[in-house]
Structure 1
């Protein structure tokens, strides 16, 4: 659960917001969730022909950032835009375990505390240059150099020998990353302080699974990488496609990478275009795109569309409500004991005031659903089914506030010290239903006497929202956001003391201890690791610094003439090589 992306106002976030609207009508049945059980994770397999153009919709109400470098980008939208060329070093099986079928091979030596990565001969950048050991190593330099301002430098990566010294400017190289055959060789050996149980899984956070083209970037100062043409306008990829045209924030045209190591992809061209969430259902019904995501609240409008296959899965992601209780200072989260939201009863009361279950049934017919913990059920035994989460319970919310000393003075409650209490909520823009939904949510809190106001008086555009959240704006007490997760379940890099992504800024001795234990050498014992995961989920439920709200089926409407499209983990790294039109 480490290599994460923030995601925006479409997909689960918009579905989450829909789950927050108050239900003034009788709830309907769970027809959507019943239909969802029939969804396939891939299109029907048919013989594929060469050629053709595929049009792909990116549903967002804001321009995409256009940062085409894995260590500088944190936006899921950017990942969606770049997926056609942005191949990982490793393929996995359907349980996300790394195998040697991808661009590079992988060998873990627990005794020597090393991982050896070897890029395969013939794996080339889209300019024809072989991907080298230096390209793999340089990704770590970009991520760890302070000047690049990457948010991906985490405590977990500091387990690589010499990483901290490089980050702090005490060393010019990362001593624990060796290139035995030289920079132009293809082998990299990573040396670790200790080995971790998640290292055999992709997305584990202890090492990077991508590379950066050193020959293209080496003369660009780290401080200028983010704004450089090499990252924004003419990036190189070693995946099946390369960029031929960018309309900033709006569209990207992809053409085959003629040097692609697996062979020539089936399609001649892929055009990726931004479409407003409000226009998404009409775009699907009119067949404007070959692949378009279904916004769950619009399922009833599109489900009978002819000429499409609905391909779906429950993704590794979730929406959540976070409470600001500190700041990011000197490379770590520093909690303020006197923060307005640093009262457990207040946080829990706000969570109990959310009527998620009833609302998601009414508005998405079960395609969006409440989740009880911060570990998704897809992680199997690591998910604690005994944690029930915050069911809608206004009586309990009021009791918590009464007992904690939040007394009512007129319509609203005051703080235990008698001072007025105004809570500032930051939430993102989205589809046309987003604003009334959030306003209604505020009414839910008013029912328990809490005066909640929108930060700035309105919903905030995606990029501005995360800018405010990341920089701990004084105007935010509570925020509603979402994570797209990687495939190793550890939550360490989201919620530890040195995690930039720990946007609530909470730090407790117990949290640090549990996170350390679940990723320790001892946790190579699966039973022990599962136990620690369950302890952490119970602890996080009780503390409520971060309250999970929903997940949702992610549904794609796919042109029925297409074949080879798949959402299976084992296909993720090669899907765009395989997708094409059926003969």
Structure 2
């Protein structure tokens, strides 16, 4: 799905050696060449005639068991999304610019005059149990996300532009008045009534309407509070994509077989096995052809780049890694982030100094052959003119970091600096486990912060197991002052779903009047004027750089090693929804 997903930066944020400031000089040419090579890789396998049959093994790279929440409304990790891919189809296809087309399972109509969005499901789009996908299946996800009993992280204030959604979320109404099913719940049409429409609505991932369906006939008897843990979500989920679940080995693998009711036709493969492999074993698994499709971990590129009988395909994904600072808490009663002005990390100077002390570029050159690169803002360059190229980001500058801290009153008492009020300052960093280069990178950054007199240490004294990492971030564990994570982004650039006051994914819990104002302007009626929207995007990026509640660090070339005998596998946005349907072995 093209929704924002939290990941623990494993394999995306690369790692670093302890003495990294001057490293990488002797390999700069190789770095540049490898990055140039990756930039020329195709985005898809060559198109050839495919035969029926065959098994594809698909690598799920993680050092923890996947959580296995097979519900688009309830999962939060990129790993679960990856595991679900063979069956998990969106309602809409897109073009390569992520604009919604009417070629997918459903069509879209936006009526600016009446402030409605109409979704019509195609006849013949069926769940893997043979039941037609109906209007109620499109409406039901709004109930799942909106009902507080599910504790869905997906609910954001963006949905409250739908009439009646806020009242439903607050328990004041039993249904959502603004979602109409003109032909009844068994019909094929849903009309969503808004208080106002938004400029991003023509793009997938806009956050104002949901792009998934759930099988109401199958899930309706499960109480909302039990949905996430139910067998119907964890063991026997239904999908309307090309493949259906045959078998799940909890946390380890999912075996997929063709959905015989799939609306586009019969898929090519007999079976797909999505299987966990540890990040440290990934390069060996690629070289020994254990998997037919596996993402390359960029820190391991040199080990795999000469592998025979694979085709490397690549793209720069819509994602970034970042350092976030905890400055508040999530209030479940109001469904809002509440900032604590007295929070330890709620000092702009402290956050900026931490940013300038990070030697990000040296890390990337040393460990990823330039395949991972620093990003300056929270809007990736792939979003074209929305990206503010004038924001340069945090360059490595220890002198500047020290000056900022001195000026802000963080005086040194012995080895460590103290807070401006004279109290000791100890900062706890949460970071997740990863491949073998993960720990050195974290220790390297901690060493850089020590150089400017900041007493930074790891939460619990070690890297966190991934599921524990997510739990601590999402539940505002008081032991966490800052954390390293990443976002797999939505394909519509509005940042409201991640950084708004009403966004559960705003894991830093920062809320300022200026941030709220800018986010509203980005998605306002005025923003139907592209020039105005671009200006507001630029202002927001400049503001976020200045405030440094979130410091973007890296993005990476996303390279996959694919068995040369396969055809149809693609990383293009326009192929994303039907990607697995097209995969097969060459005749």
For the aligned pair, the TM-score class normalised by the smaller chain equals over 0.9
Is 1:253–2:255 an aligned residue pair? yes
| Residue in 2 that maps onto 1:506 | 510
What does residue range 326-475 of structure 1 map to in structure 2 within 5 Å? 326-329=328-331, 330=333, 331-475=335-479
| Residue in 2 that maps onto 1:138 | 140
What is the distance in 2 between the residues matched to 1:85 and 1:244?
Answer: 11
Cα distance change of structure 1 residues 328 and 574 upon mapping to structure 2, 3 Å threshold: same
CA displacement at 1:581 relative to structure 2: 0.5
CA displacement at 1:21 relative to structure 2: 7.5
Q: TM-score, normalised by structure 2?
A: 0.98
CA displacement at 1:25 relative to structure 2: 2.8
| Residue in 2 that maps onto 1:547 | 551
Q: Is the 1:20–1:354 contact (alpha carbons within 8 Å) kept by the matching residues of 2? A: no
Q: TM-score, normalised by structure 1?
A: 0.98
Q: Is the 1:9–1:462 contact (alpha carbons within 8 Å) kept by the matching residues of 2? A: no
| Residue in 2 that maps onto 1:217 | 219
Select 1:76's aligned residue among 75, 78, 82.
78
Q: Is the 1:11–1:554 contact (alpha carbons within 8 Å) kept by the matching residues of 2? A: no
| Residue in 2 that maps onto 1:25 | 23
Which aligned segments of 4 or more residues in structure 1 are displaced greater than 2 angstroms? 8-11, 17-27
What does residue range 42-441 of structure 1 map to in structure 2 within 5 Å? 42-329=44-331, 330=333, 331-441=335-445
Q: Is the 1:98–1:200 contact (alpha carbons within 8 Å) kept by the matching residues of 2? A: yes
CA displacement at 1:24 relative to structure 2: 5.1
Q: Is the 2:360–2:553 contact (alpha carbons within 8 Å) kept by the matching residues of 1? A: yes
CA displacement at 1:10 relative to structure 2: 2.8
What is the distance in 2 between the residues matched to 1:417 and 1:143?
Answer: 43
What is the distance in 1 between the residues matched to 2:82 and 2:10?
Answer: 12
Q: Deviations over 1:527-564 (max 9, x none)?
A: 00000000000000000000000000111000000001
Q: Is the 1:217–1:230 contact (alpha carbons within 8 Å) kept by the matching residues of 2? A: yes
What is the distance in 1 between the residues matched to 2:49 and 2:395?
Answer: 49
Cα distance change of structure 1 residues 334 and 557 upon mapping to structure 2, 3 Å threshold: same
Q: Deviations over 1:496-521 (max 9, x none)?
A: 11111111111111000000000001
3-state SS of paired residue (1:423): strand
CA displacement at 1:468 relative to structure 2: 0.7
CA displacement at 1:2 relative to structure 2: 8.5
Q: Is the 1:19–1:360 contact (alpha carbons within 8 Å) kept by the matching residues of 2? A: no
Q: Is the 2:330–2:504 contact (alpha carbons within 8 Å) kept by the matching residues of 1? A: yes
3-state SS of paired residue (1:12): coil
Q: Is the 1:423–1:477 contact (alpha carbons within 8 Å) kept by the matching residues of 2? A: yes
Q: Is the 1:39–1:312 contact (alpha carbons within 8 Å) kept by the matching residues of 2? A: yes
Unpaired runs of 5+ in structure 1? none
Q: Is the 2:18–2:440 contact (alpha carbons within 8 Å) kept by the matching residues of 1? A: no
What is the distance in 2 between the residues matched to 1:206 and 1:404?
Answer: 41
CA displacement at 1:201 relative to structure 2: 0.2
- After TM superposition, the structure 1 stretch with the greater mean CA deviation from structure 2, 324-333 or 298-307, is 324-333
Report how many aligned residue pairs link the two structures. 581
Cα distance change of structure 1 residues 500 and 2 upon mapping to structure 2, 3 Å threshold: farther
Unpaired runs of 5+ in structure 2? none
CA displacement at 1:439 relative to structure 2: 1.4
CA displacement at 1:37 relative to structure 2: 1.8
What is the distance in 2 between the residues matched to 1:18 and 1:233?
Answer: 39
What is the distance in 2 between the residues matched to 1:20 and 1:549?
Answer: 18
Q: Is the 2:360–2:396 contact (alpha carbons within 8 Å) kept by the matching residues of 1? A: yes
- After TM superposition, the structure 1 stretch with the greater mean CA deviation from structure 2, 4-13 or 58-67, is 4-13
What is the distance in 2 between the residues matched to 1:275 and 1:305?
Answer: 18
3-state SS of paired residue (2:100): coil
What is the distance in 2 between the residues matched to 1:219 and 1:302?
Answer: 49
Q: Is the 2:22–2:362 contact (alpha carbons within 8 Å) kept by the matching residues of 1? A: no
Q: Deviations over 1:143-181 (max 9, x none)?
A: 101111101110101110000111111111100000011
Cα distance change of structure 1 residues 2 and 515 upon mapping to structure 2, 3 Å threshold: farther
Cα distance change of structure 1 residues 323 and 2 upon mapping to structure 2, 3 Å threshold: farther
Cα distance change of structure 1 residues 20 and 102 upon mapping to structure 2, 3 Å threshold: farther
Q: Deviations over 1:124-155 (max 9, x none)?
A: 00000000000001111111011111011101
Select 1:477's aligned residue among 477, 481, 495.
481
> What root-mean-square deviation, in Å, do the aligned CA atoms of Structure 1 and Structure 2 show?
1.2
Q: Deviations over 1:350-408 (max 9, x none)?
A: 00001111220121111000000000000000000010000000000000001011111
